Structure 1
Amino acid sequence: MNRSHRDRDDTRVPLPDLCSVQGLFALVLVAGITITVMQLAPGVRPGWRAFSVGMLFAVWLSIVLAASVCILRPWFERLPAALPYLAVWSWMLLMTLLLSALIGWIDHALRLGLTRQSTLAFSVVNGTLVALIAAALLRYFYVLMQWRARLAAVSRAQVQALQARIRPHFLFNSMNTVAALVRVDPGAAERTVEDLADLFRAALASDSEGTLGEELDLVDRYLDIEQRRLGDRLRVQRDIVDPPIDFTLPRLLLQPLVENAVRHGIQPSREGGTVRIAVDADEHEVRIAIDNSVPREPVTTLDEDGHGHGLHSVRERIAYHYGERGRLQVEDADGRYAVRVILPRGAA
């Protein structure tokens, strides 16, 4: 596959997942609203029988359309450019016409009296409604999926930027630490090299997600290296009891926050300070707090360009992976700078 073909594939907008509860609920909700509006329209004689029959048919049609699109989705997605959405719209229209004609024929053949129109008129009305509603819904899904695809690309680019920025910054300080320890403490120098290798292995990993246990181990290795460099100036307190180590979260989410705490909270201070890391969880969410003492001298925070990895970047990655249920809170008071990450369980 050549490069231009890969680029075209990467820019394609994926189809919405109508197999999901959210996708099916959206279709059923729109169908229900449409039937309700039609019953309340001027000139229409309202009646519970007509409303219930119309609602039953609309819900049934929505489920059948969603199931058929879900089954044929792999085939639709093989089409180039924006043709998958046009194919889905055409399929919904065709299915509506065929199913309406079938229901109309059965109703008139058995004389059930469910439809007051002829089979042709019943099919045309339903086809027109579905054509308009499906066009609006698919346009909405197209814009939504396009936004998600762009946000995913931004998230991947931010991870790549984090991976690129950790290398030169970290390498310089760590090599100086190793050089200083080689003669005085060869064992500590060897452990520093091992920790550094693990950090770079994690930073260069191709996977976009890891586990909380892996992230905490990465943080520990980073702090071990910085403690050998800063000595007693860096003090670490951990309040981590029985953490959900298998909890999935974006890779390199916590290490930049801890690095910021050391670089801008501990390193500029002659007397040093304390970095606290706390993790607690319940059945609904995982809460991670990272705070550091603030030196008396003015320091630059993560949000400013050129310093740290950016709270804005971390906040965007949380928003992409967890939506509104994921939060990042910042508090600067009482001589401490605290960042709290709140992630929902079962939503990554």
Structure 2
Amino acid sequence: MVLRALLFVHGVLALGTAFSVGEITQWGLQFAIASGVAMPALMWWLLTACLAQRWLARRSVALQWTLATLWGGACSGAAWWLWSWMQWSNPRPVDGLHAVAGAATGAAMAAAFFQWLRQRARLEQPAATRARLAELQSRIRPHFLFNTLNTAIALVRVDPSRAEAVLEDLAELFRVALNDTGTQAAATLRDEVELARRYLAIEQIRFGDRLQVRWEIDPAGDAARLPPLLLQPLVENAVKHGVEPAAAGGLLRVRTRVRRGQVEILVANSVPQQASVPGHGIALRNVHERLRLMHDVAAHFQAGRDGDVYRVQITVPL
């Protein structure tokens, strides 16, 4: 929301100043001044909107629209007043006409942006529903449950402690999978990695040396927010389509790293020479949709085959 608000405000300011000046040099100066006034107002407005989000959600649409508009005008008027008095080279009293015009412009922009947010929320309701259904459908598959229970049964007599560990990992997986958190809830990357480790620990018993896992985890990215149960379906797909069909097994690589204030997540698996029928589509579309709903344009998603390796790369803000 913040990035879109910045783009919206700068776009309006660029157009407004372009029509009010005659030369490009004057336009640059006027645009810089307008941006200097608008940015504090925008930050105040966004901060208040975020802090009051839950309170506003319980109020009527008319009250929300009124408060958003009035607060936008108040923030713009205050920012104009602050800018006028902070000009170190030529301090001067506030121009009442300019202050009123600035407040009115801020109120109009706040009203327009609020209306856009409402329209976007209405359009995303079907997408959120589809993502929720896909999430439910892609949760831990029944065949995995049966295979795990059979593995635990086989271990009970020969290695009871290992069987207990398998059942504990399975219980944790299903606790998360059956937790009705909704698409807007958030998990940390650390939680997602831990869940993926539990899943792969179970599969390691089943596949033995055929499943080779390489972990490259950067602790600096542990606090990154992700939709719940996002990483586990990716590693499950990697096992199903990269390791299981190959007689010799395969390599699965999970890497996280922090770069320029963002967390990069990579899930890569080797592809057998005779690859099975593609099956990544539903899970990958689900992951992409849920990332978009949580982080909007701040998240990046890319998936595809690169030679004999299939890569899924995700970037989210830290």
The TM-score with structure 1 as length reference comes to 0.64
Q: Which of 127, 142, 165 is equivalent to 1:168?
A: 142
Q: Deviations over 1:324-347 (max 9, x none)?
A: 3322222423322222222232xx
Contact kept, 8 Å, 2:220 with 2:258, in 1: the verdict is yes
Q: Deviations over 1:107-150 (max 9, x none)?
A: xxxxx9x799xxxxxx9x99998998776555433323333555
2:117 maps to 141
2:81 maps to none
Amino acid at match of 1:145: A
Q: Which of 7, 12, 19 is equivalent to 1:37?
A: 19
Query: Gapped runs of 5+ residues in structure 1?
Result: 1-15, 41-47, 96-111, 117-122
Evaluate the alpha carbon distance shift between residue 336 and residue 84 of structure 1 in structure 2; reply closer, same or farther with a 3 A threshold.
same
Q: Secondary structure at the match of 1:218?
A: helix
Contact kept, 8 Å, 1:285 with 1:343, in 2: the verdict is yes
Q: Deviations over 1:62-111 (max 9, x none)?
A: 959x86xx58x78865544x43466458869999xxxxxxxxxxxxxxxx
Alignment of 1:269-284 (within 5 A): 269-284=246-261
Q: Deviations over 1:127-175 (max 9, x none)?
A: 998998776555433323333555455444444444xx31524311111
Evaluate the alpha carbon distance shift between residue 132 and residue 332 of structure 1 in structure 2; reply closer, same or farther with a 3 A threshold.
closer
Evaluate the alpha carbon distance shift between residue 177 and residue 338 of structure 1 in structure 2; reply closer, same or farther with a 3 A threshold.
same
1:229 maps to 206
Larger radius of gyration: 1
Evaluate the alpha carbon distance shift between residue 302 and residue 319 of structure 1 in structure 2; reply closer, same or farther with a 3 A threshold.
farther
Percent same amino acid at aligned positions?
32
2:286 maps to 313
What is the Cα deviation at residue 226 of structure 1?
A: 0.7
Q: Secondary structure at the match of 1:166?
A: coil
1:98 maps to none
Query: Gapped runs of 5+ residues in structure 2?
Result: 75-92
Evaluate the alpha carbon distance shift between residue 256 and residue 184 of structure 1 in structure 2; reply closer, same or farther with a 3 A threshold.
same
2:306 maps to 333
Alignment of 1:180-259 (within 5 A): 180-207=154-181, 208-259=185-236
Amino acid at match of 2:199: Y
What is the Cα deviation at residue 38 of structure 1?
A: 5.6
Evaluate the alpha carbon distance shift between residue 92 and residue 248 of structure 1 in structure 2; reply closer, same or farther with a 3 A threshold.
closer
What is the Cα deviation at residue 275 of structure 1?
A: 1.4
Evaluate the alpha carbon distance shift between residue 202 and residue 26 of structure 1 in structure 2; reply closer, same or farther with a 3 A threshold.
same
The TM-score with structure 2 as length reference comes to 0.69
Q: Secondary structure at the match of 2:277?
A: coil
Q: Secondary structure at the match of 2:213?
A: strand
Q: Deviations over 1:17-54 (max 9, x none)?
A: xxx696588458636744653667xxxxxxx9xx98xx
